[in-house]
């Protein structure tokens, strides 16, 4: 099976802009989670989607949003970008059956100038 894919891999934006990141889960996986990774804060949970519904949410401002499509692909959006949003954004997919282990993609490196 192909792994989790994320596009784009790298992105440069300026403050105030908005950005959309995309994630395609492993075939058959219906749950998609998003994490932010920074040197200062480490890996932090953003949100989880299952069957097109947000099932869990982390402690991030409303500028961070996401959605999931009927084919389980997911997008996350960050509006009004701030310098502190520069990070590696990781997507993880899982199969809700069994132990629901999270399998991560390679991430999208977002730089905000």
Partner 1 sequence: QQQVKQSPQSLIVQKGGISIINCAYENTAFDYFPWYQQFPGKGPALLIAIRPDVSEKKEGRFTISFNKSAKQFSLHIMDSQPGDSATYFCAASKGGTASKLTFGTGTRLQVTL
Count residues contacting partner 1 (CB under 8 A)? Answer: 25
Complex with partner 1: residue 12 or 43, whichever CB lies closer:
43
Taking CB under 8 A as the rule, which mask of x and - marks residues 72-101 in contact with partner 1?
Answer: ------------------x-x-x-x--xxx
Q: Which helix (H) or strand (E) holds 64?
A: strand 64-68
**Quick one: tokens of 12?**
């440069």
Q: For residue 23, what are the contacts with CB-CB under 8 A and spacing of at least 6?
A: 4, 5, 6, 32, 34, 73, 74, 75, 76, 91, 93, 105
Q: Which stretch binds partner 1 (CB under 8 A): 12-20, 50-58, 66-74, 78-86?
A: 50-58
Q: Does 25 bind partner 1 (CB under 8 A)?
A: no
Helix (H/G/I), strand (E/B), else coil: 83? helix
Q: Which residues pair with 91 in a beta bridge?
A: 34
Min CB(58)–partner 1 separation in Å: 7
Q: Does 62 bind partner 1 (CB under 8 A)?
A: no
Residue at token pair 């954004």 = 89
The footprint of partner 1 (CB under 8 A) covers: 4, 31, 33, 35, 42-45, 48, 55-56, 58, 90, 92, 94, 96, 99-107
């Amino acid at each position: 099976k192909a792994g989790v894919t994320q596009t784009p891999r790298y992105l440069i934006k300026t403050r105030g802009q908005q950005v959309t990141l995309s994630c395609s889960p492993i075939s058959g996986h219906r749950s998609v989670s998003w994490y932010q990774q920074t040197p200062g804060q480490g890996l932090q949970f953003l949100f989880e989607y299952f069957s097109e519904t947000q099932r869990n949410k982390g402690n991030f401002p409303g500028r961070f949003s996401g959605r999931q499509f009927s084919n389980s692909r997911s997008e996350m959006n960050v509006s009004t970008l701030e310098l502190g949003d520069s990070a590696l954004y990781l997507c993880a997919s899982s199969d809700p059956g069994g132990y629901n282990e999270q399998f991560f993609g390679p991430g999208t490196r977002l730089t905000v100038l």
